[in-house]
Amino acid sequence: NAGVTQTPKFQVLKTGQSMTLQCAQDMNHNSMYWYRQDPGMGLRLIYYSASEGTTDKGEVPNGYNVSRLNKREFSLRLESAAPSQTSVYFCASMARPSEQYFGPGTRLTVT
Amino acid sequence: GDSVTQMEGPVTLSEEAFLTINCTYTATGYPSLFWYVQYPGEGLQLLLKATKADDKGSNKGFEATYRKETTSFHLEKGSVQVSDSAVYFCALSDTGGFKTIFGAGTRLFVKA
């Protein structure tokens, strides 16, 4: 039981490049989330998926897109990376209104 | 909307000192309350939770009591260790139940 896994762990992009962050959970949870964490800003919700087949914007969705590929997988895409998207990205899942389970994070630097 | 406010850090303590990290919330309805901990280089993990008023959550020597009258959920530990050095986040489940609202986090340093 791996919990929530994320790939890659680290990534460096040049401004304007695109990339997809992958997330998978093996706990059969319905809801999945993408957050970014910046110094002094806590966690900010980018997008979430309450259940398979649905996605909704969070607090900071601009510049990102998501895909809920199936119940297990929820990907985050940056179409044209900007330096302001330099951050640590966390994926999380939740079975019901209760605690969330987090992945180990992806450290992204955009130069 | 729902929100969480927690004390700013960093908090620096000596080993075996008493810890309190304050957390207050604003919410409609009756949210569940959580404390998460983040160790360096890792994701957040649940430390403890409380689902209704007057509930006490506890884990690894940490405790927090859901106080509806003061809308608070303060984290306490009687004797901290160096290994408790981490960032602590207070959080609540929002009214709709699908999202968690996090505080800004409080960094704790424990010196030997």
Which of B43, B93, B104 minimises the CB distance to A102?
Answer: B43
Residues in chain B: 112
pLDDT digits (tens, 9 = 90+) for B71-108: 999 999 999 999 999 999 999 987 677 889 999 999 99
Report the pLDDT value the prediction gives residue A2, as an integer from 0 to 100.
Answer: 83
Report the pLDDT value the prediction gives residue A39, as an integer from 0 to 100.
Answer: 83
Q: B8 in contact with A at a CB cutoff of 8 Å? A: no
Q: Which stretches of chain A drop beneath a pLDDT of 50?
A: none
Report the pLDDT value the prediction gives residue A108, as an integer from 0 to 100.
Answer: 97
- Distance, in Å, from the CA atom of B31 to the CA atom of B96, rounded to the nearest integer, reads 9
Spell out a b/e string for B21-46, using b for 16 or more CB atoms within 10 Å of the CB, else e. bebbbebeeebbbbbbbbeeeebbeb
Report the pLDDT value the prediction gives residue A97, as an integer from 0 to 100.
Answer: 67
**Contacts B93 to A, Cβ<8 Å:** 97-98
Which of A45, A94, A103 minimises the CB distance to B43?
Answer: A103
- Distance, in Å, from the CA atom of A59 to the CA atom of A81, rounded to the nearest integer, reads 18
Yes or no, beta carbons of A97 and B97 under 8 Å apart: yes
Yes or no, beta carbons of B100 and A48 under 8 Å apart: no
Distance from CA of B102 to the nearest CA of A (A): 7
Closest-CA residue of B relative to A41 is: B104
Q: B57 in contact with A at a CB cutoff of 8 Å? A: no
Burial class (CB in 10 A: 0-12, 13-18, 19+), A55: middle
Yes or no, beta carbons of A98 and B104 under 8 Å apart: no
pLDDT digits (tens, 9 = 90+) for B27-48: 988 899 999 999 998 999 999 9
Report the pLDDT value the prediction gives residue B107, as an integer from 0 to 100.
Answer: 96
Which of A31, A98, A103 minimises the CB distance to B32?
Answer: A98
B105: alpha, beta or left, given left = phi > 0 and alpha = psi -120 to 50?
A: left
| Preceding peptide of A61 cis, ω within 30° | no
pLDDT digits (tens, 9 = 90+) for B49-71: 999 999 999 999 999 999 999 99
Yes or no, beta carbons of A50 and B98 under 8 Å apart: yes
Report the pLDDT value the prediction gives residue A98, as an integer from 0 to 100.
Answer: 77
Which of B32, B45, B105 minimises the CB distance to A102?
Answer: B45
Report the pLDDT value the prediction gives residue A18, as an integer from 0 to 100.
Answer: 97
Q: A62 in contact with B at a CB cutoff of 8 Å? A: no
